Amino acid sequence: MPTRTARTAWNGTLQEGSGQVELSSSKVGTYEVSFPKRAAEEADGTTSPEELIAAAHSSCFAMALSNEIGKAGGTPQSLEVSADVTLGQKDGGPHITKIAITVRGEVEGLDAAGFEQAAQAAKAGCPVSKALAGVDEISLDASLES
């Protein structure tokens, strides 16, 4: 299996500095990062480690769920997955306190219970979920659309 690489160039202090994160393996882009914007409600054109984790988690979960649906005898028509990653405080410092995964799917060959079972298996088996096992809470809201 391949190794993927991202790189960040940072200048300045935590509060006044900023950086650029580059998705080096895919070369799809370089994005601005800064701690004040990371901690603010509005991202204002910058990304954050939490947003990048959300992107990684939602895409990994979608792949894992597609696989689990197939293993259960279903055929995914469409999956809409979002991940909300919350940065909070724990033990006096910043900590990812919660990840909420929401998935809405159109699937042939599975009922709602089968879809929920596949979603729970995807949550447990997704490599990014496993890597994020130290997060206090990872929740899942899965609904089969008709």
What pLDDT, on a 0 to 100 scale, did the predictor assign at position 31? Answer: 97
What pLDDT was estimated at residue 123?
97
Alpha helices in the chain (DSSP H): 35-39, 49-71, 112-125, 127-131
As a whole number, the mean pLDDT across the chain is 95
60 & 130 share domain: yes
Is 90 exceeded by the pLDDT of residue 39?
no
Q: Which residue type is seen at 99?
A: I
- Contact call for residues 90 and 135 (beta carbons, < 8 A): no
- 62 and 81 housed in the same domain: yes
Query: In percent, how much of the chain has pLDDT > 90?
Result: 89
> Are 23 and 74 in the same domain?
no
Tell me whether residue 133 is in a domain. Answer: yes
- For residues 29 and 32, what is the distance between their CA atoms, to the nearest angstrom? 10
Cα–Cα distance, 69 to 71 (Å, whole number): 5
Rounded CA Rg of the chain: 17
Reported as a pLDDT band with limits 50, 70 and 90, residue 52 is: very high
Residue 62's domain comprises 49-144
Q: CA-CA distance, 99 to 82, in Å (whole number)?
A: 10
Q: Residue 1: what pLDDT?
A: 85
Buried b / exposed e across 97-109, counting CB within 10 Å, b at 16+?
A: eebebebebebee
The SS3 assignment for 73 reads coil
Q: Are residues 35 and 67 in the same domain?
A: no
| Mean pLDDT confidence for 102-131 | 97
Total domains in the fold of the chain: 2
Are 53 and 122 members of one domain?
A: yes
In order of 55, 74, 86, 126, the CA distances from 3 in angstroms are 17, 31, 27, 17
**In the structure, what pLDDT confidence band is assigned to residue 55 with cuts at 50, 70 and 90?**
very high
Given a cut of 80, is residue 134 above it in pLDDT? yes
pLDDT surpasses 90 at 63: yes
Q: Are residues 130 and 84 in the same domain?
A: yes
Q: Are 30 and 18 in contact (CB under 8 A)?
A: no
Is 1 inside a domain boundary? Answer: no
pLDDT at 46: 94
Is 133 in the same domain as 72? Answer: yes
Q: Output the CA torsion 43→45→49→50 (10° steps).
A: 40
